[in-house]
Amino acid sequence: MSAEELKTHSAVHVLKGAVQGVLGAKWTASVHVSGSHGRLTVKFDREPTAEELSKIERLTNEKVSEGVELLEFEMERQEAEGHFGDAIYDLFPVPPEVTLLKIVRIPDWSINCCNEPHVDNTIQVGEIRLGKPRFRHSKGELELEFDLVE
Ligand SMILES: [Zn+2]
């Protein structure tokens, strides 16, 4: 993962918190990162409004500017599930044989088990700009594209 992709991947965690807050979309179906471009795909049942999108972008950038630490820690899977419930999971399953989870947490914002490396602080992400979203009715998925702004 390049230094740029480290930022883009970390931005996905910040974006996810905003998406959950604004849309209540809890489940991530997939994540794609390439250079400074990222895509977060969540389960959702409709096209988001322009207001919702601008709020998601604004809240993400506010959380970035706030300069919040991304906490990374390892936890026994059973303990993590007991503590955080299914909030740590996405729709792509963690194999059953994995018993120790790496968790990344932005306090009061988002939490996930994730094996990828992250920046230490949201401020390092810079700024994001949301692109035009794609709602796939047949799959019940909303794709949110974004770019890091230099
Ligand atoms: Zn991650």
CB within 5 A of ion ligand 1: which residues?
114, 116
DSSP string, 42-82: EE-SSPPPHHHHHHHHHHHHHHHHHT-B-EEEEEEHHHHHH
95 Cα: distance to centroid of ligand 1 (angstroms): 17
The string of pLDDT tens digits covering residues 12-42 is: 999 999 999 999 999 999 999 999 999 999 9
Q: Within a 13 Å sphere around the CA of 28, how many CA atoms are in the beta-carbon half?
A: 26
Query: Ligand 1: distance of its center to the CA of 8 in Å?
Result: 10
- Assigned CATH topology for domain 3-149: Threonyl-tRNA Synthetase; Chain A, domain 2 (3.30.980)
Distance 118 CA to ligand 1 centre (A): 6
Q: Where are the domains of the chain?
A: 3-149
Residue 112 Cα, ligand 1 centroid: separation in angstroms? Answer: 7
Rounded to an integer, the average pLDDT of 119-128 is 97
- The pTM of this model reads 0.96
Exposed e or buried b for every residue in 35-62, given b needs 16+ CB within 10 A?
ebebbbbbebeeebeeeebebbbebbbe
